[in-house]
A and B are shown apart, each in its own frame.
Chain A
């Protein structure tokens, strides 16, 4: 619980808010082994492991984070949090506004990556962490990690920016706009205040997720996994689910719409669209990264067309221009944007080796 009002980039003020977080491992005596994991669009604080009363609820990055894993919780004190505006325990549109006694809904301010970093810095203050060993994340999480290096250059030693971009392209914003349109035009959305109507814009949220899911996979990965396979083995000349890919997408859409908040989805996609550290510097990314002092590891995946390797190279280029320490690995992977969540020998070797290097800088 934070009682100091947070002023957003938009000018809106949130008088008080809660942040849900989880920690793994032990903070060392001089508090130099902390790692902050920033989540992507649909992520949350539950990064690794499972709860003793819920063995099925495995953390979203459990293959990467844990004892003996690349982000080794025997060495690091790892923090996962649910971002402000989220729907997994932190204050967000589905939380109750103490001023009105009703859910925030449409009145929850549009949030930016900078606002998140500000709220995360206050969480670090609360935990007594003045400098992170590393801040890292994939996709939208990578944007937060980069923003950390720009907003608080002294408060972190390393950034691991994975499958991310210095800003979204027009095509990428376009995908987000279609996803938002699906939600905004759902009759059950009620301008964002659907909570009071006792309904959920399930149809919109489901479509948004289905669209997103297509863009997170590669053409080849989809072809390999589903091909043109038919559910019943024959054409039915109807608009019901026929191809396996349709079945899969609808399943993913339904699953997501059952637990995710539509307003949070809108906020997350807006934060993605707005992120652009070079915007106020005539689009000059070199100047934007002049503020960074951290060492960087930048990782991209060959088949990721939503956050393509070219976009990661722009980040690398700006860091090289500023003579910052940076390594860049381009992982050959078939799984598109989703690759950053999957186990891959080369990806994990790169992560493990880099993190071992960070661990050598402090004594556990």
Chain B
């Protein structure tokens, strides 16, 4: 199971690489609990997920993952300051409404935050826009009219938001087709994972 998860979600391996054994983790929008299960099996984390969908709640429970049914944008207010080593938001940032306040909540509840998102500045996305259409790809599989994504951004945009919110980026891992991207990441990377904390 572990290998298949890592193949289908390359950002999971990148996230796991940053998480020491035995950490406490809050996964916002945790889906069916795959990441938390993977982190429990490989990192022995103590974790909780927040999820809104009924099907995912039942799936998390089947995966033996702690899950709290709530809207992640309002539900995170229930968590106490610095109550987790890591708060993770994987491939969900672009679908959040109050993205700015959510970023602040992540660094309030977590000693560190980890966020992964599709890079809208990826050259294939730029190309599709240049040719006259909204991008549709593996990372952005929706049409413009049915997409849940309301706050898409590029790596540069995200880093600008962090600076604006006085959030310090600790590390960045950019990938395309499962491979690391070092050179010109904002153009050549399709997915990015960031690790950050409150700049205090």
Q: Which of B53-61, B100-108, B173-181 lies at the interface?
A: B53-61
Contact between A326 and B66, CB atoms less than 8 A apart: yes
Contact A328 B69 (CB under 8 A): yes
How many Å lie between the Cα of A349 and that of B58 in the bound state? 6
Tell me if A173 counts as interface (CB < 8 A to partner B). no
A124 at the interface (CB under 8 A from B): no
Instruction: State whether the Cβ of B188 lies closer than 8 Å to any Cβ in chain A.
Output: no
CA distance A321 to B70 in the complex (A): 17
User: Which residues of B does A touch, CB under 8 Å?
Assistant: 24, 46, 48, 54, 57-62, 64-70, 78-80, 83
Give, as a whole number of angstroms, the nearest-CB distance from B77 to chain A. Answer: 11
Chain A residues lying within 8 Å of B46, measured Cβ to Cβ, are: 323
CB pair B54 A320 closer than 8 Å? no
Residues of A309-364 contacting chain B, CB below 8 A? 313, 316-317, 320-321, 323, 325-332, 346, 349-350, 353-354, 356-357, 360
Contact-residue bracket for chain A: 20 to 34
Residue of B with least CB distance to A323: B46
Whether the Cβ atoms of A329 and B57 lie closer than 8 Å is yes
Q: Which residues of B contact A332 (CB under 8 A)?
A: 54
- Contact of A350 with B68 in the complex, beta carbons under 8 Å: no
* B residues in contact with A328, CB < 8 Å: 67-70
Among candidates A317, A320, A330, residue contacting B69 with C-beta atoms closer than 8 Å: A330
> How would you classify the secondary structure of chain B's contact residues: helix, strand, loop or mixed?
mixed
Known contacts A325-B66, A356-B62, A357-B64; decide if A317 and B78 are in contact (CB<8 Å): yes
Could you tell me the distance in whole angstroms from the C-beta of A334 to the nearest C-beta in chain B? 15
**Complex alpha-carbon distance, A297 and B68, angstroms:** 10
Q: Is the CB of B78 within 8 A of A327?
A: no
Q: Is the CB of B68 within 8 A of A327?
A: yes
Q: A329-B57, A356-B62 are in contact. List 10 more A-B contacts (CB 8 A).
A: A320-B78, A323-B24, A325-B66, A327-B66, A327-B68, A346-B58, A350-B61, A353-B62, A357-B62, A357-B64
What are the residues of chain A within 8 A of B67 when measuring CB–CB?
Answer: 327-328
- Chain A, residue nearest B59 (CB): A353
A350 neighbours in B (Cβ, 8 Å): 57-58, 61
Measured CB to CB, the closest approach of chain B to A18, in angstroms, equals 38
List B contacts of A349 (CB < 8 A): 58
B48 close to A320 (CB less than 8 A): yes
- Chain A nearest CB from B25 CB (Å) reads 12
CB-CB under 8 A from B69, the residues of chain A are 328-330
Q: Which residues of chain A are near B64, meaning CB under 8 Å?
A: 357, 360
A314 CB, nearest partner CB in chain B, Å:
10
A and B contact pairs by CB, cutoff 8 A, 21 listed: A313-B78, A316-B78, A320-B80, A321-B80, A321-B83, A326-B66, A327-B61, A327-B67, A327-B68, A328-B68, A328-B70, A329-B61, A346-B54, A346-B58, A350-B58, A350-B61, A353-B58, A353-B62, A354-B61, A356-B62, A357-B61
CB nearest to B78 among chain A residues: A317
CA distance A306 to B70 in the complex (A): 20
Give the docked Cα–Cα distance between A325 and B65 (Å): 9
Give CA–CA (A357, B64) in the complex, Å: 6
With A328-B67, A328-B68, A330-B69 as known contacts, state yes or no: A320 contacts B58, CB within 8 Å: no
A287 to chain B, nearest CB (A): 14
Kindly list the 3 A-B residue pairs having the minimum CB-CB distance in the complex, ordered from nearest.
A353-B62, A349-B58, A353-B61
C-alpha gap A313/B50 in the complex (Å): 13
A325 to B57, CA, bound (A): 15
B178 to chain A, nearest CB (A): 32
Instruction: Check A316–B68 contact: CB distance below 8 A.
Output: yes
Interface core residue of B48, B58, B67 (most chain A CB under 10 Å): B58
CB distance from A240 to the nearest CB of B (A): 44
Complex contacts, A313 vs chain B, CB 8 Å = 78
Q: Which residues of A contact B65 (CB under 8 A)?
A: 327
Q: Which residues of A have CB within 8 Å of B80?
A: 320-321
Q: Which of A119-139 contact B (CB under 8 A)?
A: none
A331 to B55, CA, bound (A): 11
Q: Which residues of A contact B24 (CB under 8 A)?
A: 323
Q: How long is the Cα–Cα vector from A316 to B57 in the complex, in angstroms?
A: 15
**Which residues of B have CB within 8 Å of A360?**
64
Cα distance A171–B27 when bound, in Å? 36
Q: Which residues on the B side are within 8 Å of A320 (C-beta)? A: 48, 68, 78-80, 83
By beta carbon, the residue of chain B nearest A286 is: B80
Given A320-B79, A320-B83, A346-B54, answer yes or no on A326-B62 (Cβ-Cβ < 8 Å). Answer: no
